[in-house]
A and B are shown apart, each in its own frame.
Chain A
């Protein structure tokens, strides 16, 4: 584990997106999962953290569809990943109004272009049951 990974965790997270990975942190001392990336474990205060790659599998904890005038609504949801952390995201392959609490979903890395700036974000799609 290099020093940047410890002291600049956001950069390490972004680096993961570049490699199409969803990264989160695990605590060596309490075993807890940490997201968003931090320089300490918010469960126990330990600084002995390491990054891990998530499988991207999770369950929708809550959901809302944000309405727009001219375009279809889009999804905002909270996903509980199987590794024990929660993140805000969007379920992108179905109507926003059809996203349901309890739905099993899997992560995708999506390219985003806004104001000429390219970036990547983690989105989700339903897992075929």
Chain B
């Protein structure tokens, strides 16, 4: 089955909605719809062509029902799998399975959120209680404290430093400087990061991702139709998923994530190794994330993520381009960043990433993370030379 999935499908449309701060008069579903229309236009398609619908709209209990109604789509395959910010990488995996089984022919994956503007209006809603919560009595500042616990443990086990993590933020900002759509573009230094107020030790405010508005969308088709569209297809070569826990207090080891498994599955399907990947897009909700994921995805040995990213290795001009759009730390983060890892991977493969375009990109990795280091989903995309 996995060999059939390899390069069986391709992303032929990719777009963001308006990002940053869109104002209090606009709704998440409007951003999801705007991104959808742009991604479909990118693919030379319209909403009428879509028969497979995947996605999440922030705050919606039945997101694909709302999206289909809003867009006038009557899907014969519908999937709003919710695994947190990684969900859209899961949707790409699920869409590939659905396309290859013939359950749909044109898959649209969409996301919208007004997380930033909601914070201005108090429009955030309270979720109903799900089950007894054994963490709430201690008032962890979530999700920050969960990732902070992982960072503290990583520092203890491996000697990782706040300076290492600050370098992650500095690299992201340098990439964002090359991306006109990025929310934060002014220069940033390690000292800037270290001198900001502490939120939850060891994290200062610049160790944490942005809160912006934004949406994104992708269009996927089977390989036989991939060249019917006005763009260079980005073929899905491999995908893998894994999760072991939801609450941080249930995570078996705070320094090894389920990305070890999701990546192993993705590499096996794609038939490639980390050394062959040209650009890497990682879910950087916090500065510890790229360090953990570069280890767990096999770019460096466990525990060496801090020294590995040092000296500008993942920054523009470094050996390994990571988060070339500026990441959740500097480009945008509307609450679920996964779809943006895919959009940037597609652009780098097409050669349309503007000032941040990397030369000779044939293989791109997009890695989504959901919940508190919980859901891990890895996708490997390739251009026509890799099929």
Contacts and interface: CB of A to CB of B under 8 A. Distances in A.
A65 interface: yes
A64 B145 contact: yes
A87 B150 CA distance: 15
A75 to B, nearest CB: 8
B287 interface: no
Interface in A47-92: 61-67, 73-74, 76-78, 86-90
Contacts of A67: 197-201
B156 A88 contact: no
Contacts of A77: 149
A89 B138 contact: yes
B325 interface: no
B141 interface: yes
B137 A76 contact: no
B281 interface: no
A76 B150 contact: no
Contacts of A101: 152-153, 156
Contacts of A89: 138
Given A62-B152, A62-B156, A90-B138, A76 B132 contact: no
A15 interface: no
Contact of B134 (A62, A66, A88, A97): A88
Interface residues of B, number: 26
Interface in A94-123: 96-97, 101-102, 112, 119, 121
A92 to B, nearest CB: 10
A12 B249 CA distance: 20
Nearest to B204: A67
A35 B140 CA distance: 18
A83 B198 CA distance: 34
B193 to A, nearest CB: 16
Given A76-B200, A88-B248, A112 B149 contact: no
B149 A76 contact: yes
Given A76-B140, A88-B138, A119-B137, A61 B200 contact: no
A-side interface mostly: strand
Interface string B155-170: 0100000000000000
A66 B135 CA distance: 14
A101 B199 CA distance: 19
Interface centre among B135, B140, B249, B250 (most CB of A within 10 A): B249
B148 interface: yes
Interface in B230-260: 247-250, 254
A10 interface: yes
A88 B153 contact: no
A63 B135 contact: no
Most interface-central of A36, A61, A64, A101 (chain B CB within 10 A) = A64
A36 B132 contact: yes
A66 B145 contact: yes
Task: Choose among A10, A13, A62, A102 the residue with the greatest number of B CB atoms under 10 Å from its CB.
Answer: A62
Contacts of B249: 78, 86-88
A112 B136 CA distance: 12
Contact of B200 (A36, A66, A88, A102): A66
A88 B135 contact: yes
Contacts of A121: 137-138
B200 A64 contact: yes
A66 B201 CA distance: 7
The residue in B148, B201, B248 that gathers the most chain A C-beta atoms within 10 A of its C-beta is: B201
A10 B137 contact: no
B195 interface: no
Contacts of B148: 64, 76
Interface in B189-227: 197-202
B254 A112 contact: no
B139 interface: yes
Nearest to B148: A64
A101 B157 CA distance: 10
Query: Most chain-B Cβ atoms within 10 A of its Cβ — which of A35, A76, A119?
Result: A76
B93 to A, nearest CB: 26
Interface of B: 132, 134-135, 137-141, 145, 148-150, 152-153, 156, 197-202, 247-250, 254
Given A62-B149, A63-B149, 20 more contacts: A10-B132, A61-B153, A62-B152, A63-B152, A63-B201, A64-B152, A64-B200, A64-B201, A65-B200, A66-B140, A66-B199, A67-B197, A78-B249, A87-B249, A88-B134, A89-B138, A96-B201, A101-B153, A112-B137, A121-B137
11 contacts: A10-B132, A35-B134, A62-B156, A64-B140, A64-B200, A67-B200, A67-B201, A76-B139, A89-B138, A96-B201, A102-B156
